[in-house]
Chain A
Amino acid sequence: MALLELRNVSKIYHLGGEEIRALDDVTLDIDAGEFCSIIGPSGSGKSTLMHILGCLDSPSLGTIKLDGVEIQKASTGELAHIRNRKIGFVFQFFNLLPKLNVVQNVELPMIYSGVSGKERRERALRALEMVELGNRLKNRPSQLSGGQQQRVAIARALVNDPKIIFADEPTGNLDTHTGEIILELFRNLSREGRTVMLVTHNPEIAAVTPRRIEIRNGKIADKVDTRLAGLDRKSAVVPAH
């Protein structure tokens, strides 16, 4: 059984009587442990797809199953709970809380899942060790470089041990070299068996992932959505820019 199952999912907006289909009848499976990218130009609907996959939004039509549970009819409160336990987000602009230090930022998701203070601290430290930031615990995000901030964000995404990690243009705000380090981090996570979804407009970055899903005009472009059979996941390389 797939980790994420989308069946005929549409997202429809109404703008002044005009119907806009940001997503149009998308059917998609994502298995546990997959490393996959969603690619498409801006306005293609890839963000909408990520929002729906990431339980930030509900589809207008169709069904979606996460971890065997249908969630298309979930209330915002239930969606918040699912995001908290099963999904980790990494954003283009890092989205760290500027008033909190590094550890507190990483602890944030656990505050909402009711983890006790001591365990919270331990798990946050472990996650920060994983992204090699164990020495910057008390710094504020503004005192860190972009790459470091993104690593804090990754630690935050990992800390509740989610089923799936979404990264929305994670390298978009970083220089090439730092971007490569971040991508390498995602590749490592994938090797450890985690499910990682990269959302990007950059085909070179998408090339890192064994599977690519291209979105055009709210639909999956068939010819690109191929599981790159024969290409071993581990041999995928970071492309030179």
Chain B
Amino acid sequence: MGLWNAITVGFKEIWAHKFRSLLTMLGIILGVSSLIAMSALVEGMEKGSREALVAVGGLQKFRIETQPVPVEQRHLRDFATGVTLGDVYAIQNNAPEALKVSPEMRLEMSPTLAANGKTFRTWSTAGVWPVQLELMEHSIEHGRCFNEVDDELARSVCVIGTGIRDELFGNPEETGEEIIPIGQSLTINGYPFTIIGMFEHYESDQDRKVRLLRKAEDLARKEKGLTNVVTGPKRMRGWGGNRRGGFAFWMKNNTVYMPLNTMWIKLMSGQTNAPSDQRLSEMEIKVRDVTKLDLALSEIRNVMMVRHRGIEDFNFRTQEDWAEQINTFIQNARLSGGIIAGISLLVGGIGIMNIMLASISERIREIGIRKAVGAGAFDIFIQIVVESTVIAITGGLAGLVASYGLIQLIVALTPTDNAPILTIGAMAMAFGASALIGVLAGLFPALKAARMNVIQSLRYD
């Protein structure tokens, strides 16, 4: 019997028992769609987490921070300098694995920004070198960044993020117009600064989509003549202003950068004598090759230990932990979701096997007749396996369609920041699994049918 004939017979059997077949398929449909939905959810979460990781510089970047000396070195604490600008130069000159080094100097208390009659405090106010922009994945959309001359002359200039603009000059989503406060002045702890540049607005893909969608809806409402203006005070949902999406993006948008020397001279009043001994709060380092992170770390550690004469008043903070956390979380989510979806697929497979066993005992006589007119055991075997596979594959295809609906349902029920991502790979895998389960579920009933005795099955009533 040809394969095509077997498939046709399989479809006829399914059609002859429509309701029964549908119930059987339901197991596979649920299994396949939950497998796909689970994978899409995890995929979405993973993308969201990775976006946030990249937004702060990725794995290639790490930070050296000042820390109190350890207990066993307490007696040396008067010699502890913390991270200094001299360390930055030393690393630049002596650690070839460090591609870029940027010093960062912060005030101990977050400074008050004021402009336009409004005030705002942000912790992310720092004096840096221009190279910091590259390290932190910042990019300037309006104006310019300060340069070495601004740094040398300690000019009172600053570059701000859109979050600062929103707080002090107005949010484009509320005012309806993009405000670019380049050239305007701003005071930081009372010192006047000129805004010379503004970063682009950072947000996750998901936030961008939501924002654009809302914009389009508003536009459509306006065209219809509807007004969509909500008056009165805005509702604040918890602390952190009107932030949406990840904390990483929010922090990034609320950045104020000024030249390092400006911070040191104007705001910190020059705490040390020698220019190379400026105390930093930290430095950001980007390594040449992320696969040689360990090498770079030990190289830089050596330089630092020599410079600090063995006093461990600094530590390294890499993003490996974060990346590992993401990986662990994603793996766990994948594993638990996979197990649950796998079990439901398995249950679907057991359902198919059950129905195939019922089907062959209903068709003992048919099998006897087919054998009497010349069907070999293999023909019968193939027929039953093909039938169960046809049920599973049909269920699998329906499951692919259902998964789309399931994902929409999940999104509607639990809106998350990370939209599920439907991948071809997950769909192919789930469909393949359903086909495989169909074959496996058919094997035992098919073997049983193939082994039936001709004479006994012909006599069976």
Contacts of B454 in A (CB 8 A): 56-57, 76
Q: Taking the nearest CB of chain A, how far is it from the CB of B377, in angstroms?
A: 6
Establish whether residues B373 and A84, one from each chain, have CB atoms under 8 Å apart when the complex forms: yes
Establish whether residues A80 and B2, one from each chain, have CB atoms under 8 Å apart when the complex forms: no
Question: What is the number of contacts between chain A and chain B, taking CB atoms within 8 Å?
Answer: 62
Establish whether residues B375 and A112, one from each chain, have CB atoms under 8 Å apart when the complex forms: yes
Q: Which residue of A lies closest to B6 (CB)?
A: A111
- Please measure, in the bound complex, the distance between the C-alpha atom of A108 and the C-alpha atom of B371, giving whole angstroms: 10
Q: Which residue of A lies closest to B461 (CB)?
A: A93
Establish whether residues A83 and B377, one from each chain, have CB atoms under 8 Å apart when the complex forms: no
Question: Which of A57, A84, A97, A109 interacts with B455 by CB under 8 Å?
Answer: A57
Q: Taking the nearest CB of chain B, how far is it from the CB of A234, in angstroms?
A: 31
Question: Interface size class for chain A?
Answer: 20 to 34
Encoded as 1 (CB less than 8 Å from any B CB) or 0, chain A from 75 to 87 comes to: 0110011011100
Q: Which one of B108-116, B196-204, B362-370 is at the A interface?
A: B362-370
Establish whether residues B455 and A111, one from each chain, have CB atoms under 8 Å apart when the complex forms: no
Contacts of A108 in B (CB 8 A): 369-370, 373
CB contact list, A63-81 vs B, under 8 A: 76-77, 80-81
Contacts of A99 in B (CB 8 A): 12, 16, 366
Chain B interface SS verdict (over half): helix
Q: Which residue of B lies closest to A108 (CB)?
A: B373
- Please measure, in the bound complex, the distance between the C-alpha atom of A239 and the C-alpha atom of B416, giving whole angstroms: 88
Question: Which of B16, B370, B376, B458 interacts with A81 by CB under 8 Å?
Answer: B376
Contacts of B375 in A (CB 8 A): 80, 84, 112
Establish whether residues B373 and A77, one from each chain, have CB atoms under 8 Å apart when the complex forms: no
- Please measure, in the bound complex, the distance between the C-alpha atom of A114 and the C-alpha atom of B374, giving whole angstroms: 11
Encoded as 1 (CB less than 8 Å from any B CB) or 0, chain A from 87 to 115 comes to: 00101000111010000000011011110
Establish whether residues B377 and A77, one from each chain, have CB atoms under 8 Å apart when the complex forms: yes
Q: Is A136 engaged at the interface, CB distance under 8 Å to the other chain?
A: no
Contacts of A89 in B (CB 8 A): 372-373
Establish whether residues A91 and B458, one from each chain, have CB atoms under 8 Å apart when the complex forms: yes
Q: Is A51 engaged at the interface, CB distance under 8 Å to the other chain?
A: yes
Q: Taking the nearest CB of chain A, how far is it from the CB of B400, in angstroms?
A: 30
- Listed from nearest, the 10 A-B pairs whose CB atoms lie closest are A84-B374, A109-B373, A80-B376, A112-B374, A77-B376, A95-B369, A112-B375, A83-B374, A56-B454, A109-B374
Question: Which of B365, B376, B455 interacts with A56 by CB under 8 Å?
Answer: B455
Chain A interface SS verdict (over half): helix
Question: Which of A51, A97, A112 interacts with B1 by CB under 8 Å?
Answer: A112
Question: Which of A57, A80, A96 interacts with B377 by CB under 8 Å?
Answer: A80
Number of contacting residues on B, CB 8 A? 22
Contacts of B374 in A (CB 8 A): 80-81, 83-85, 109, 112-113, 160
20 additional A-B pairs beyond A56-B454, A56-B455, A77-B378, beta carbons within 8 Å, are: A51-B455, A56-B372, A76-B376, A77-B376, A80-B374, A80-B376, A83-B372, A84-B373, A84-B374, A91-B458, A95-B368, A99-B12, A99-B366, A109-B373, A109-B374, A111-B2, A112-B370, A112-B375, A113-B374, A160-B374
Q: Is B218 engaged at the interface, CB distance under 8 Å to the other chain?
A: no
Q: Is A156 engaged at the interface, CB distance under 8 Å to the other chain?
A: yes
Q: Which residue of B lies closest to A76 (CB)?
A: B377
In the assembled complex, 11 residue pairs joining A and B whose CB atoms fall closer than 8 Å, in A order, are: A56-B455, A57-B455, A77-B378, A80-B371, A83-B374, A91-B458, A95-B369, A109-B373, A111-B5, A112-B374, A156-B373
CB contact list, B344-373 vs A, under 8 A: 365-366, 368-373
A residues bordering B, Cβ < 8 Å? 51, 56-57, 76-77, 80-81, 83-85, 89, 91, 95-97, 99, 108-109, 111-114, 156, 160
Q: Is B379 engaged at the interface, CB distance under 8 Å to the other chain?
A: yes
Contacts of A80 in B (CB 8 A): 371, 374-377, 379
Q: Which residue of A lies closest to B372 (CB)?
A: A89
- Please measure, in the bound complex, the distance between the C-alpha atom of A98 and the C-alpha atom of B2, giving whole angstroms: 21
Q: Which residue of B lies closest to A168 (CB)?
A: B458
- Please measure, in the bound complex, the distance between the C-alpha atom of A56 and the C-alpha atom of B375, giving whole angstroms: 12
- Please measure, in the bound complex, the distance between the C-alpha atom of A80 and the C-alpha atom of B367, giving whole angstroms: 13
Q: Which residue of A lies closest to B366 (CB)?
A: A97
- Please measure, in the bound complex, the distance between the C-alpha atom of A97 and the C-alpha atom of B363, giving whole angstroms: 10
Q: Which residue of B lies closest to A109 (CB)?
A: B373
Contacts of B5 in A (CB 8 A): 111
Establish whether residues A112 and B373, one from each chain, have CB atoms under 8 Å apart when the complex forms: yes
- Please measure, in the bound complex, the distance between the C-alpha atom of A95 and the C-alpha atom of B366, giving whole angstroms: 8
Establish whether residues B2 and A114, one from each chain, have CB atoms under 8 Å apart when the complex forms: yes
Establish whether residues A112 and B458, one from each chain, have CB atoms under 8 Å apart when the complex forms: no
- Please measure, in the bound complex, the distance between the C-alpha atom of A85 and the C-alpha atom of B12, giving whole angstroms: 27
